[in-house]
Structure 1
């Protein structure tokens, strides 16, 4: 005759086998790809470049409202940057090795002084750091910032010379952006219409405020270009998606309406 302890041991074995069988059945019924998905969540695909935005800033407005600039202050539109945008008119995020936007390894910003030497003179003239435009170190800090934020996820992540030359070529190809004189005021719509009449494409208008924050100023005119074929720089001017600055579907910046009046200093 078995002792009570032997019966208890046998019962425990039966219960254990039953639990293991049920667990195995549940696992077998699950899709293995579902388990993998939950354990190893895939990275989001990188955003696709839809177009490029060439941002041209008006130095008298930038230096009278945003920056403290050392003279001389340029009296023509200078380049702020050329930015790859997605289909929602959002900037393509900077390169991140944990979720890369390109299979190529971007050129590090610290290499720019060597890579950009052939066009350094042109960049200093047309794409200066307005805070201290005659200071080459300050200029490279500005160019390195733009490269890291926008160039590393452009179509030229390992070719900064082509990236910067593309903006220079576009700017040098525009002789006139607006025909009205300085010290005048216009609505945002009037400025956009003026650019359309001159260049045959609608821009995006960016405003800032004067130091006393009592007057809206024409700070930037941004022009949009269709994404080029591989191996080509941007060259086809298109209408910008939004005339006013928009982020995540909301208007940002001092100008909230096309009827807002802005001063051209």
Structure 2
């Protein structure tokens, strides 16, 4: 009887331990990410970067405005998930009603010239699939489009007296102008033009896991800008 009772208790503990492990594993798996980076790029800096060429989309030269680069899930430790579901490929029919906005607000400047599908497919497959438990494909692209309108970076900079006119501006003034316009501090990524001037390239804003609301960034990439940077025309 003692042995029977002992083994019964042992089996119960073993089952309980297994359940705890399963729950913990599922919990970790469902912790897809902690926040988004919403990244917009300035086309003038993309096209005039040292050793780099750009190609306008098949629809023609984009407007002189910031274009969406992506909405990227990230962890608070600075790492990020990618290519999370290799079975959920980009499906053009899911964003068919958004295509006119995507062409205008999320244009591809890579070569060869394209209609944008390759760019959007890459962003969904690499980044969007890591948020699909919260945002399906259409919702993912819709969230990015809404965030672009919400941030309105070019207007925020113009309101701060900062124009894309091939002039140099203090990096801190650029940050302050965007913060005044959006309510949140951005992170600025620079690249270099043919004369090796540090120039405004990309603006990172942080967004909560719903993809709807800007937040203060839990972690920022490492800086690469000079204290005064060029804002090139386009």
Task: Verify the 8 A CA contact 2:53 2:111 in the aligned structure 1.
Answer: no
Q: Deviations over 1:159-201 (max 9, x none)?
A: 2111101101111233433121122212332221221111110
Does the 8 Å contact 1:107/1:158 carry over to 2? no
1:30-49 aligned within 5 A: 45-46=28-29, 48-49=32-33
Which is bigger in relative contact order (C-alpha 8 A, separation at least 6)?
Answer: 2
Give the match for residue 260 of structure 1: 227
Match of 2:202 among 202, 213, 220: 220
Q: Deviations over 1:38-94 (max 9, x none)?
A: xxxx99x44541111111100111111144223614300110001111112332232
Structure-1 separation of matches of 2:175 and 2:218: 12
* C-alpha distance in structure 2 between counterparts of 1:149 and 1:67, whole Å: 24
Which structure 1 residue ranges, 5 or more long, are not aligned?
Answer: 1-31, 33-41, 98-105, 229-233
User: More helix by proportion, 1 or 2?
Assistant: 2
Q: CA RMSD in A?
A: 2.9
- State which of 139, 147, 151 in structure 2 corresponds to 1:174: 151
Larger Rg: 1
Give me the whole-angstrom Cα distance separating, in 2, the residues matched to 1:96 and 1:263: 39
1:175-190 mapped onto 2 (5 Å cutoff): 175=152, 176-179=155-158, 180-182=162-164, 183-190=166-173
Stretches of structure 2 that go unaligned for 5 or more consecutive residues are 1-13, 15-24
TM-score by length of 1: 0.66
Q: Secondary structure at the match of 2:76?
A: coil
Measured in 1, the distance between the counterparts of 2:62 and 2:194 equals 17
Distance of 1:132 and 1:64 partners within structure 2: 14
